[in-house]
Amino acid sequence: MARLHLVRHGETTSNVMRRLDTALPGAALTDFGVRQAVRYGLENRGIIAEHPQRPAVLVSSLARRAQQTAELISSVWEVQPRIVEGIHEVQAGDLEDRNDDEAHGVFRDVLDAWYSGAPDTRIPGGESLQMVYDRYLPAIDELAATYLSGPDATDVVVVSHGAAIRLVAARLAGIDGKFAAATHLPNTGSVELEFRDGLWVCHRWGATRAPFDEAVDEPLVVTDDSVGDNPMG
Query: E strands within the chain?
Result: 3-8, 57-60, 82-83, 156-160, 190-196, 199-205, 208-209
Give the model's pLDDT for residue 226: 45
pLDDT at residue 50, as a whole number = 73
What pLDDT, on the 0 to 100 scale, is given for residue 213?
A: 53
Tell whether the model's pLDDT for residue 228 goes beyond 70. no
The whole-number pLDDT of residue 229 equals 59
Q: Is the predicted pLDDT of residue 219 greater than 50, yes or no? A: no
Q: What is the pLDDT of residue 224?
A: 36
- The per-residue pLDDT for range 169-214, each reduced to its tens digit, is 999 999 999 899 999 999 999 999 999 888 999 999 998 887 765 4
Q: Which domains does the chain have, with CATH numbers?
A: 9-90+129-209 (3.40.50.1240)
Quick one: pLDDT at residue 38?
A: 97
Can you give the pLDDT at residue 150? 86
What whole-number distance in Å separates Cα of residue 188 and Cα of residue 152? 27
DSSP 45-92: THHHHH-TTSPPEEEE-SSHHHHHHHHHHHHHHT---EE-TT-SPPP-
Q: What strands lie across the sheet with 57-60, from one edge to the other?
A: 82-83, 57-60, 156-160, 3-8, 190-196, 199-205, 208-209
> Residue 9: phi, psi to the nearest 5?
-60, 170
Q: What is the mean pLDDT of residues 59-81?
A: 97
Q: CA dihedral defined by 102, 106, 108, 111, rounded to 10 degrees? A: -170
Q: What is the mean pLDDT of residues 90-116?
A: 96
Which residues touch 183 (CB under 8 Å, ≥6 apart)?
166, 205, 206, 208, 216
For residues 78-104, give the mean pLDDT.
97
| Mean pLDDT of the region 114-141 | 97
For residue 125, is pLDDT > 90? yes
Question: So what's the pLDDT on residue 152?
Answer: 87
CB of 6 closer than 8 Å to CB of 158: yes
Residue 216 pLDDT class (50, 70, 90 cuts): very low
Per-residue pLDDT of 9-63, as tens digits, reads: 999 999 999 999 999 999 999 999 999 999 999 999 989 877 767 889 999 999 9
Cross-strand bridge partners of residue 196: 199
